[in-house]
Amino acid sequence: MQHSIFISDLHLCPTRPAISQTFFDFLRGPAARAEALYILGDLFEYWAGDDDNDPFNASVLAALRDLARTGIKLFLMHGNRDFLIGDRFAADAGARLLPDPTLLDLYGTRTLLMHGDTLCTDDVGYQEFRAKVRNPEYQRQFLAQPLLSRKQIIAGLRTENTEKKQSKSKSIMDVTPATVEAVLREHGYPRLIHGHTHRPALHHHLVDGHACERWVLADWYTKGSYLRCDRAGCTVIELATV
Q: What's the rounded Cα separation, in Å, for the pair 181 and 100?
A: 17
Which stretch of DSSP H or E encloses residue 226?
Answer: strand 225-230
pLDDT, average across residues 22-36: 98
pLDDT at position 164 = 77
Locate the DSSP E strands across 45-158. 73-77, 96-98, 102-106, 109-113
Q: What is the mean pLDDT of residues 70-83?
A: 97
Other C-beta atoms within 10 Å of 92: how many? 15
What is the C-alpha to C-alpha distance for residues 110 and 197, in angstroms, rounded to an integer? Answer: 23
How many residues would you count in the chain? 242
Helix, strand, coil shares of the chain, percent, nearest 5, are 35, 25, 40
Q: What local confidence, expressed as pLDDT, does residue 193 receive?
A: 99
Residue 79 has pLDDT above 80, yes or no: yes
**Using CA of residue 152, residue 95, residue 212, residue 209, what is the dihedral sign?**
positive
Average pLDDT for 12-30: 96
- DSSP per-residue codes, 59-79: HHHHHHHHHHHTT-EEEEE--
Distances (CA, A) of 166 to 79, 124, 172, 173: 21, 16, 12, 11
Classify 41 as helix, strand or coil: coil
Structure confidence at residue 162 (pLDDT): 78
> pLDDT value at position 240?
81
- Domain of 232, CATH number, reads 3.60.21.10
Residue 103 has a pLDDT of 98
The pLDDT of residue 242 is above 70 = no
Q: Which domain holds residue 86?
A: 4-238
pLDDT of residue 82: 97
Question: Per-residue pLDDT for 4 more than 80?
Answer: yes
Q: Is there a cis peptide before residue 200, judged by omega within 30 degrees of 0?
A: no
Contact 20, 228 (CB under 8 A): no
Weakest-pLDDT range from 60-69, 70-79, 153-162: 153-162
Per the structure, how many domains does the chain have?
Answer: 1
Q: Span 89-107, mean pLDDT?
A: 98
Buried b (16+ CB within 10 A) or exposed e, 9-22: bbbbbeebeebbeb
Residues 149-207: tens digit of each pLDDT: 999 999 999 888 877 777 677 777 899 999 999 999 999 999 999 999 999 999 999 99
Which string of DSSP letters, residue by residue, matches 146-164?
-HHHHHHHHHHHHHHHHHH
Which whole number is the average pLDDT over 85-101? 98
Determine the pLDDT at residue 109: 98
